[in-house]
Amino acid sequence: MRTSHLTRAAGALAPVVLLAALLVGCDTDDPRAGCAWMKDQAPGPRAGATVLLMDRSASVLGAGGPDYSGAADALLRKRVAAGDTFSLGTFAGAPGDVDWAFRKRSADWKRSARGSGGQKSNRDHAVGCLTEDLTTAQHAVPAHGGTDVLGALATGVALLRGVEGSRRLVVLSDGLSTTGCADLRQAAFGSEEEIKAIASVCATKGEFSELPDLTGVDVTFVGLGQSAEDQPSANQGQRAWLARLWRTLCERAGGTAASCTAVDTPVGPAPTPHATGPVPADPTVPYRDGRSRTYPLPGAALFDTGSAELRPTATAPLADIAVRARTTPGLDRVEVDGYVDPRGGSGNDRSLSQSRANAVAEVLAEHGVPRARVHALGQGVSPGCPASRSTDDMSAKERLQCDRRVDIRVFWK
């Protein structure tokens, strides 16, 4: 009789024990068994959202590629503690081409179980599962070469539309774009002027702007300047320059100094090789060591207003710079950046500045600088005078002349 009572009691308790095991998910060796609720649970109406964007281009896929799963651990724990909804995508290739591993997966552990024990277990499991997802994503191989970090940001921020809670983008990348307005293949990695010029080009008004709208979005860059071990290596100064560049682009896209951050913690190599198949060819970004000299020439000394035809008096100073450039030991390249002042408003600022840069480049080539080493770029409206020049005592006319200029930069190896 007593045995019959015990049997019935055990039978009554069985569903309760089974339900507790499912909620806690800790009595198994399968590390993902406790995360099924993340896939099944709908995001809360006011939950925050975190979008993880992982770079899969050739510069991070080689031997000793960065281990983003370890570098992002503290950030994952913080956002899981907040109960965010997570999305994870890898990017490379065409602009905005993101391959989503998953989208809008809830990590709201407080709603995942009734008891505090189950909630705590689900919170810990969520961190472990997201870390494993990042590790798995590190083996993804893109279909095409090329890197466009801004394009990935634009695709990622689209997932944050309509989110009522906090909105966050986490960019796991060395930051070496090889396409678009932030193409760094010819970057000098040293001057603030270059950062301003890149930001100005990317923020071109109208339909040509490549900056996404990051208003109200917290953006964190992890791993800038830290590529695979078989790739060119950045020094500390170049890594700091990359951090300033991406913070500047983030702020120009609508962010603030407080919401645009770069985590400068070392990202160690992954314990296993990243790529499991052939990696598409990608242009290499050769870090420059900053050995360069800039010759700023006022536009009034070179061109008439609104014209791209060089004045006869412009030949002498350009010939002098050409001789200096072609006799520079270890000459690498000469960059000609054309700028216009903001008075035009005619819509042809970029084309005029390009035509002026081309005209100057031709004169340099005519005076002995190898044509293949001269690169002309029309930057459009100037972002301001070079940082090396003080504008405190400049008149309005002098500021315009400073804006309306051509910079000739000579780089050597």
Q: What is the pLDDT of residues 79-94, one digit of tens each?
A: 999 999 999 999 998 7
For the ranges 96-100, 200-204, 241-245, 284-288, which has the lowest average pLDDT? 284-288
Kindly indicate the confidence band of residue 388, based on its pLDDT and cuts at 50, 70 and 90: low
Average pLDDT on 320-330 reads 88
Does 327 have pLDDT greater than 70? Answer: yes
Structure tokens of 269?
Answer: 């190599």
Instruction: State the pLDDT at residue 6.
Output: 34
Q: What percent of the chain has pLDDT over 70?
A: 85
Q: Is residue 391's pLDDT more than 90?
A: no
- Per-residue pLDDT for 321 more than 80? yes
Confidence of residue 21 (pLDDT cuts 50, 70, 90): very low
Adjacency order of strands within the sheet including 167-172: 98-106, 85-91, 49-55, 167-172, 218-222, 260-263
What is the predicted pLDDT for the residue at 348?
67
The CATH number given to 292-412 is 3.30.1330.60
In this prediction, residue 328 carries a pLDDT of 84
Q: pLDDT at position 3, please?
A: 41
d(CA 411, CA 136) in angstroms, rounded, equals 41
Confidence of residue 347 (pLDDT cuts 50, 70, 90): low
Say whether 292-412 and 25-263 share the same fold.
no
Give the whole-angstrom CA distance, residue 380 versus residue 395. 22
What per-residue confidence (pLDDT) applies to 235? 80
- Where is mean pLDDT largest: 11-25, 27-41, 105-119? 105-119
More confidently predicted of 236 and 214:
214
Dump pLDDT digits (tens) for 259-281. Answer: 999 998 788 888 765 656 677 87
pLDDT: which is higher, 411 or 385: 411
Question: Predicted confidence band at 172 (pLDDT cuts at 50, 70, 90)?
Answer: very high
User: Residues 251, 213: contact at Cβ < 8 Å?
Assistant: no
Q: Is the pLDDT of residue 112 over 80?
A: yes
The pLDDT of 386-412, averaged and rounded, is 75
What is the structure's pLDDT at 212? 93
Mean pLDDT of the chain: 83
What pLDDT, on the 0 to 100 scale, is given for residue 398?
A: 77
Reply yes or no on whether the pLDDT at 170 is more than 90. yes
Q: What per-residue confidence (pLDDT) applies to 301? A: 87
Element (H, E) at 21: helix 2-24
CA distance 44 to 38: 12
Scan for tokens 């903001």, then name that residue.
Answer: 342
pLDDT at 277 (0 to 100): 65
**Which CATH number describes the domain made up of 25-263?**
3.40.50
pLDDT of residue 171: 98
Q: Kindly tell me if the per-residue pLDDT of 173 is higher than 50.
A: yes
- pLDDT reported for residue 28: 40
Given a cut of 80, is residue 228 above it in pLDDT? yes
Task: Decide: 92 and 60 in contact? Cβ < 8 Å.
Answer: no
For residue 100, the cross-strand partners are 89
What are the residue ranges spanned by the domains of the chain? 25-263, 292-412
CB 155 within 8 A of CB 96: yes
Whether the per-residue pLDDT at 122 is higher than 50: the answer is: yes
| Phi, psi (degrees; rounded to nearest 5) at 168 | -140, 135
Q: Give 303's DSSP letter.
A: B
Confidence of residue 15 (pLDDT cuts 50, 70, 90): very low
The pLDDT, as a whole number, for residue 4 is 41
